Amino acid sequence: MRRKVFTFIIVMIIWIIFAGRITSDVIIVGTIASLVTTWLYSDLLFRSSNRKRKWTYYIKKITYIILFVPLFFYEAFVAALKVSKHVFEREPSFSPGIVKVKTTLTNITALTILANLITLTPGTLTLDFDMREKAFFIHWIDVKTLEQAETRKEVIERFEKWLEVIFKWL
């Protein structure tokens, strides 16, 4: 029960932060949304683990996540500049296409986050993931090469290294 109350409070705080104001309608809708979210997902948030970890483990994970967020924003900004450069060209110089990129990640949460990061980066869109080959199919606005290693380096390697470290012991 404490987990559910804690989840409700956290979700409600996040709701109010994203709403940007505290009014009766924000509180009412936020309470309903937080209750539904808590009811559906609180068990997923607090899965019990047989492993007992030291507090330094969690501090290290949080530190890696905090360091990763600015990296993603930087990469998204650089990608947005590249895409906007193509928008203002008189003669289009980009070559869109679908590429297949293999990954070394095994954790399903890390794979999901990587797919979302690829999609959130301007100029790329995750289309599918092949579980057998552990490969993403990505629509890329400016395909430079079809060689697997180069494509992997250009599209996912910068995120994959960090996610590997963050999800190493899960």
- The pLDDT profile of the chain, 170 residues, written as one tens digit per residue, is 777 888 898 889 989 998 988 999 999 999 999 999 888 877 766 665 556 777 787 788 888 888 999 999 999 999 999 889 888 888 878 888 898 999 999 888 889 999 999 999 888 999 999 999 999 999 988 888 777 778 788 888 889 999 998 887 65
pTM of the model: 0.70
Q: What are phi and psi of 56, to 5 degrees?
A: -65, -30
DSSP H stretches of helix in the chain: 2-19, 24-45, 55-87, 108-120, 148-155, 157-166
